[in-house]
Structure formats: C-alpha cells, structure tokens
C-alpha cells in the first residue's frame, strides 16, 4: 500500500493538471524524495493496477454489483407470474395414495335389538387398508374472472419490471457518482502535489535570497511553514483519494478486481441551455421507470376491479374422480400398490351467487377506490418527476454559472499573485502579503477543480431524475429506455 501511495503522489506530480501549470510556474524536476518513491513503487504498482474508465466501471458494476444483480433477479419473476395466471384455464389434476393399519378390541357389543352383550371370544383384531385416487377438475365458466386475472398478472409483471428498472437507474447513478468522486480526489491529489512542487521552488528561491542577505530569516521561515502546510495538504488529499477508490470498489462490487485506479480525464462542462429540457421531460414522462411503475400499478388495479365484478356471475365447473381401495386382515393390504376395488364419478357444479351479505359489494367498492387512488398516484408521480427534473436542471445551471465564476476567480487570483511576487521582489509587499496571495490562488485552483466535478455530478443527478442513466451511459438494461 505504501508503494502504491508513493507511486500515486509521484505520478500526480508528473501529470498534475496541465491546464493549471502555467498559473503556478513551469514544471520542474521532482525532488530527490519523490524520485526515490517513483523508483521504489511506481514500476510494481503500474503492473498490478487496473485503470478504469467510466464505461469500464459501469460495465463491471452491471456484472458484479450485488444490488444490481438482485434487481435483475427480481425482474425474472415476470414469466412465472404470467404463466401462473394462464394456468387458471387448465384443469387441476391430483393423485393421492394412502395405506394404514387398524386394530379393534371390544369386550361389549350391541345386538340387533340394542342390548349390550358380552363378547364370548375376547381378542384383538387387526385390519389393514390401502387406497388410491385420481381427480380431475376444470372451471368452464367464471364470468371472465380468469381473463382479468391474466391482465392483473401481466400488470404485476410490468410493475416488477419497472421497479427493477428504477432500482437499476439508482444503482448506476451511484456507481457513476462514486467514479466521479474518485476522479475528483485524484485530481485534487495531483493539484496538491503540483502546489507542493511550487512551494518547494519558493523555498529554494527564498533560500538563495536569504543567503544573499536579500531577505530576513523570518521571511524564509514563513516560506518553509507554507511548504509544510502544503505537505500536510498532500497527505490529506492522498487519504481522500484512497477512500474514494475504496468507495468505488464497493460500488462496483467485483471481489476479483484487485488494485484499481481511475483515468485522469476531467469531466467536460457545457452550457445547460444546449440541453433540450422539454424533450427530456417528455421522455421522462414516457419512459421513466417511476411513471411506468405507476401506470402498471393502475392497470393492475383496473384488472383487479374487473375480476372482483366477475364474481357476481354464475360459475360452472366439472370434476371427475376414480378411487381404488382394498381392505384385508392383519397386514395383508398394507402398502398394496394395486387395489382391486374401483369406484368413480363425474359431477357438474353450477354456483350462482344470489346473496353474499354485501361482501361482494364491499370488495368491489374497495377495488374501485384502489383504481381511483392509482390514477391520482400517477398524476402525483408525473408531477414529482417533472419538478425533480426541473430542480436538477436548475442545479446544473447553477453549477455552470459557478464554474464560470470559479474560472474568473482563478484568473484574478493568478494575476494578483504574479503582481504581488513582482512587488515583493521590489520590497513593496511583505511576505505576509505574498503568502496571502499564494493561498488565494491555491484556494481558487481547488475550487475550480471541485466545481468541474460538481457540474458532472449535477448532470448525473439530472439523468437519474429522468430515469435515463443507463441510456446516457451507453448501457442497455432492458431496452425500454430512451435517450434525449
């Protein structure tokens, strides 16, 4: 782990955010300490570490994330649910087999006239028996209840599918957020390493000036103190990066993945005005798993209402059975697999529900209320999805505006540091003024990096609200989603 950490810091110093390098000075050779860390750890770690792109992380999560796999497993219930509903049209077939032994010992019996008499030959008599039966039954008419049950099962299967899609959408969004956080921490580590190199150059310059008696020792100590603070910042950034990698490993859920890293590509930012917000909302209202779940629930409630109404119609069913049995003394019939006495029958049953003490009316009324509530729930979910998308779009616009502000602040802070350095060289600014300018530029650099990832996270949350995370990431979950 120590070698890996050293390699990460060293690599960060080498590749540290080229877009910021001109703001804090040209790249120079790393110190001897970092060079030793590179030689001791970089080669071995590079050979063992898997560098992931966002697409790699999402693909691995779809294969190994346990929550993702559980959601897919629940979606597999669709076929059994439909098969069960269609099975109501098929006859039921039952087979039974039984065998047993009984004994009887009577001291007193009753004669034909009802008088008790003593048993002249007291003893215990044992008998055995075996029986087999097979029965067949089928419902011919149920007032259409079975057809409505099939519709209900179909709607239940769709509800299960949309619930699974909703869970998948949330899981993929979380994996993407964790990947962005890992990239963010790696970017911050690279930035802190770059700032550390800049502070080391400042110490070298101030040391030479102190040796030439151009500055006092207090100014040199102030520069050295700033260097130590920056080293502490690198340590903190290194810890945050490692925790980000651990969180990403957990989100991916691949136990065999080994050491991982994330690519150093920063997310792109763009003006949210280029997004088709109306099209995104329309696509979400049509394809969002939340809306689909509500619509499937309504269809299920409507089918249940029709099924309950069908209970008022007469029912017609036919049943048939064949029964075989045998009885014998002692154990002669025990476990007999071929009884010779055969019985059978065929029956036709007609059931007309004339009066059920208002139970049917109450059941129908409850089902009707469920239909109306499901209709209201769809309206609520549609409004919630629409408002959530609009709110996330506002967050994205805010992140874009803040990013532009951060860029302007960084330009101002960098220009101010350049001027303060010149004035410090002319002895018109104190070392405290120089340190304040250095810290302001470092803070502006950190804010600029953070805000770029804040924008990317806001975009992911927008796609999550619209239910199109998988589609926008180029992954197909079940083929029902649409991009924008």
pLDDT in tens, 66-112: 988 888 888 888 788 788 888 888 899 999 999 999 988 877 777 77
Whether the per-residue pLDDT at 160 is higher than 90: the answer is: no
How far is the C-alpha of 363 from the C-alpha of 261, rounded, in Å? 59
- 120 occurs within a structural domain: no
- Predicted TM-score (pTM) of the model is 0.75
Nearest to 162 by CA among 299, 60, 59: 299
The pLDDT assigned to 214 comes to 87
Whether the per-residue pLDDT at 60 is higher than 50: the answer is: yes
CATH number, residue 220: 1.20.1600.10
The helix/strand/coil state of 327 is strand
User: Which of 7-11, 254-258, 364-368 is modeled with the greatest confidence?
Assistant: 364-368
How many other C-beta atoms lie within 10 A of the C-beta of residue 439?
A: 15
Whether the per-residue pLDDT at 31 is higher than 60: the answer is: no
Mean pLDDT in residue range 426-442? 91
The pLDDT assigned to 18 comes to 43
120 confidence band (pLDDT: 50, 70, 90) = confident
Mean pLDDT in residue range 145-152? 88
- 259 occurs within a structural domain: yes
Domain count, the chain: 1
User: Which of 2-6, 62-66, 200-204 is modeled with the greatest confidence?
Assistant: 200-204
Nearest to 2 by CA among 52, 49, 40: 40
Phi/psi of residue 267, each to 5°?
-65, 145
Q: What share of the chain is helix, strand, coil (3-state, %, to 5)?
A: 65, 15, 20
Mean pLDDT in residue range 413-442? 92
Each residue's pLDDT tens digit, 182-196:
999 999 999 999 999
- 327 occurs within a structural domain: no
- 69 occurs within a structural domain: yes
Mean pLDDT in residue range 143-169? 88
Nearest to 19 by CA among 194, 189, 183, 181: 194
116 confidence band (pLDDT: 50, 70, 90) = confident
Whole-number Cα distances in Å, 181 to 176, 247, 343, 395: 9, 9, 76, 18
Mean pLDDT in residue range 424-436? 90
Planar angle of CA 145, 150, 154, nearest 5 degrees:
145
- 452 occurs within a structural domain: yes
Nearest to 53 by CA among 357, 365, 261: 261
How many other C-beta atoms lie within 10 A of the C-beta of residue 264?
A: 15
- 234 occurs within a structural domain: yes
Length of the chain: 484
Q: What is the residue range of 275's domain?
A: 2-79+152-298+371-472
477 confidence band (pLDDT: 50, 70, 90) = low
The pLDDT assigned to 95 comes to 94
The pLDDT assigned to 473 comes to 79
Instruction: Identify any residues that bridge with 139 across adjacent strands, giving them in sequence order.
Output: 317
- 276 occurs within a structural domain: yes
Q: How does the average pLDDT of the chain come out, rounded?
A: 85
- 171 occurs within a structural domain: yes
Each residue's pLDDT tens digit, 223-280:
999 999 999 999 999 999 999 999 999 999 998 888 999 998 888 999 999 999 999 9
Whether the per-residue pLDDT at 378 is higher than 50: the answer is: yes
Token reading at 336: 């007999």
476 confidence band (pLDDT: 50, 70, 90) = low
Whether the per-residue pLDDT at 169 is higher than 70: the answer is: yes
Whether the per-residue pLDDT at 45 is higher than 80: the answer is: no
Each residue's pLDDT tens digit, 280-304:
999 999 989 999 999 999 999 999 9
């Amino acid at each position: 782990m120590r070698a890996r950490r050293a390699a990460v810091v060293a690599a960060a110093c080498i590749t540290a955010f080229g877009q910021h390098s001109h703001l804090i000075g040209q790249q120079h050779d790393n110190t001897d300490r970092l060079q030793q860390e590179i030689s001791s750890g970089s080669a071995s770690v590079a050979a063992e570490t898997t560098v992931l792109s966002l697409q790699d992380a999402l693909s691995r999560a779809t294969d190994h994330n346990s929550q993702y796999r559980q959601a897919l497993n629940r979606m597999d219930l669709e076929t059994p649910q439909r098969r069960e509903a269609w099975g109501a049209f098929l006859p039921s077939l039952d087979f039974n087999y039984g065998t047993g032994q009984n004994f009887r010992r009577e001291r007193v019996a009753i004669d034909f006239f009802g008088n008790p008499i003593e048993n002249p030959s007291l003893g215990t008599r044992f008998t055995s028996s075996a029986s087999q039966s097979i029965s067949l039954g089928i419902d011919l008419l149920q007032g259409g209840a079975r057809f409505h049950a099939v519709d209900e099962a179909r709607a239940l299967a769709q509800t299960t599918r949309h619930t699974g899609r909703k869970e998948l959408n949330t899981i993929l969004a979380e994996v993407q957020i964790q990947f962005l956080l890992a990239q963010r921490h790696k970017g911050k580590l690279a930035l802190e390493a770059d700032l550390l190199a800049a502070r080391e150059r400042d110490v070298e310059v101030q040391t030479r000036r102190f040796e030439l008696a151009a500055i006092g020792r207090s100014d040199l100590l102030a520069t050295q103190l700033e260097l130590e603070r920056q080293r502490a910042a690198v340590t903190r950034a290194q810890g945050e990066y490692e925790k980000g990698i651990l969180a990403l490993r957990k989100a991916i859920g691949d136990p065999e993945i080994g050491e991982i890293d994330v690519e150093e590509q920063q997310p792109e930012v763009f003006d949210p005005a280029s997004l088709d917000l109306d099209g995104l909302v329309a696509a979400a209202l049509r394809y969002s798993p939340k809306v689909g779940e509500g619509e499937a629930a309504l269809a299920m409630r409507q089918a249940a209402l029709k099924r309950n109404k069908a209970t008022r119609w007469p029912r017609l069913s036919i049943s048939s059975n064949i029964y075989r049995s045998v009885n014998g003394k002692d154990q002669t019939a025990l476990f007999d697999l071929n009884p010779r006495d055969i019985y059978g029958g065929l029956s036709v049953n007609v059931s007309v529900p004339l009066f059920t003490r208002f139970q049917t009316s109450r059941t129908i009324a409850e089902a009707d209320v469920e239909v109306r509530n499901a209709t209201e729930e769809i309206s609520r979910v549609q409004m919630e999805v629409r408002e959530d998308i609009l709110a996330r779009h506002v967050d994205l616009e805010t992140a874009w505006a803040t990013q532009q502000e951060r860029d302007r602040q960084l330009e101002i802070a960098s220009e101010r540091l350049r001027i303060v350095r010149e004035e410090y060289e002319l002895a018109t600014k104190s070392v405290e003024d120089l340190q304040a300018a250095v810290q302001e530029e470092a803070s502006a650099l950190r804010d600029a990096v953070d805000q770029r990832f804040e924008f990317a996270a806001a975009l992911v949350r927008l796609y999550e609200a619209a239910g199109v995370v998988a589609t926008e990431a180029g992954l197909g979950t079940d083929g029902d989603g649409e991009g924008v």
